[in-house]
Amino acid sequence: MKEASVYLNGSLVGFHAKPVDFVQLVKERRRTGKLPQDITVAYYEDLNEVYI
């Protein structure tokens, strides 16, 4: 599988080889207070893109 594009506030900031794991990590850090609660993250498999 090709690496997923990662967008932050609509701007392309990089790529990730394991987007599902990346999204889970962001959610885990949000739950544990390491990231602000108002951050949203989603992986769109059909587009192979992660939006934060």
pTM of the model: 0.91
Is residue 44 pLDDT above 90, yes or no? yes
CATH of domain 4-51: 3.90.1070.20
Question: Per-residue confidence at 17, pLDDT binned at 50, 70, 90?
Answer: very high
Is residue 25 pLDDT above 80, yes or no? yes
pLDDT for residue 48 = 98
Query: Domain map of the chain by residue range?
Result: 4-51
* The three-state (H, E, C) secondary structure of 1-52, written as one string: CCCEEEEECCEEEEEECCHHHHHHHHHHHHHCCCCCCCCCCEEECCCCEEEC
Mean pLDDT of the chain: 97
